Structure 1
Amino acid sequence: MTTNLYDLPAEGLALSKACGGNSGDGESESCATIGAIPGAVDAYALGDSKLGDGSPLLRFTGAELDALADRIGTIRGTAA
């Protein structure tokens, strides 16, 4: 049975910033945020720090995040 990640509660969700690669304008607040969804196995939330606490959160399984990272690497020509 597949779990709908959006049905999982996000109370206690601790997000960490994943910053870097900004446009060189000195602005350092343009960060993706990511954190494990508490109480869930292999479930993560991804947000945007520029939007603050009201940022909508996209939710992914670990496998989905891995596939996303691989796809980004392919698009950018940096895949291992």
Structure 2
Amino acid sequence: MEVKIGVQHAPREIVMESKQTPDEVESTVAAALEKGSGLLSLADEHGRKILVPADRIAYIEIGEPSGRKVGFGAI
């Protein structure tokens, strides 16, 4: 599943692939935001951890990854 994290005052969003379900990611994000100055901690599909200060999160987009189209039929 693909997760996009928008961070305030950052020109690019963080994009990661996760093995967690959308409900698990949503509950993790909600718990981090309830703490106020806590950290959002998510693990990607390779086991790396991504830590984002909860007070700097602009938005979170949770969804299925879009398949990349290659070649002349990529319109």
TM-score (structure 2 length as normaliser):
0.33
Higher strand share: 2
Q: Which protein has greater RCO, CA pairs closer than 8 Å, 6+ apart?
A: 2
Higher helix share: 1
TM-score (structure 1 length as normaliser):
0.32
